């Protein structure tokens, strides 16, 4: 696991490694917002914004002060926004 730091401090190699770890995991595996962000190609700040301002967003769990995302919910979010052409949205 990569130590948590500011999102802008992660290198592209670290982000790719986090994305690969999520990709290779089972659907019920929980991940920190940084790993979830790397998997989705977003920033952890974007996920935080989505949690605070959008009621219909990625399902997450809050354990104490810690937020975790399960891989199956990240995949559901990606599937929800599939498009076959730009005329569909």
Go through 29-59 and write b for each residue having 16 or more CB atoms within 10 A of its CB, e for each that does not: ebbbbbbbbbbbebbbeebeebbeeeeeebe
Q: Which residues fall within 8 angstroms of residue 85, CB to CB, at 6 or more apart?
A: none
pLDDT over threshold 60, residue 22: yes
**Quick one: pLDDT band at residue 6, thresholds 50, 70, 90?**
confident
Task: Say how many domains are in the chain.
Answer: 1
CATH at residue 17:
1.10.1660
pLDDT digits (tens, 9 = 90+) for 29-49: 999 999 999 999 999 999 999
Residue 43 structural domain? 12-81
**Quick one: pLDDT band at residue 82, thresholds 50, 70, 90?**
confident
Residue 52 lies in a domain: yes
Calculate the average pLDDT of the chain: 89
């Amino acid at each position: 696991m990569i130590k948590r730091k500011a999102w802008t401090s992660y290198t592209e190699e670290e982000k790719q490694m986090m994305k690969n770890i999520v990709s290779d995991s089972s659907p019920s595996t929980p991940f920190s917002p940084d790993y979830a962000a790397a998997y989705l190609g977003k920033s952890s700040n974007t996920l935080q914004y989505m949690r605070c301002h959008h009621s219909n967003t990625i399902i997450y769990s809050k354990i104490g002060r810690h937020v975790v995302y399960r891989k199956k919910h990240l995949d559901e979010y990606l599937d929800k926004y599939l498009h076959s052409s730009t005329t569909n949205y």
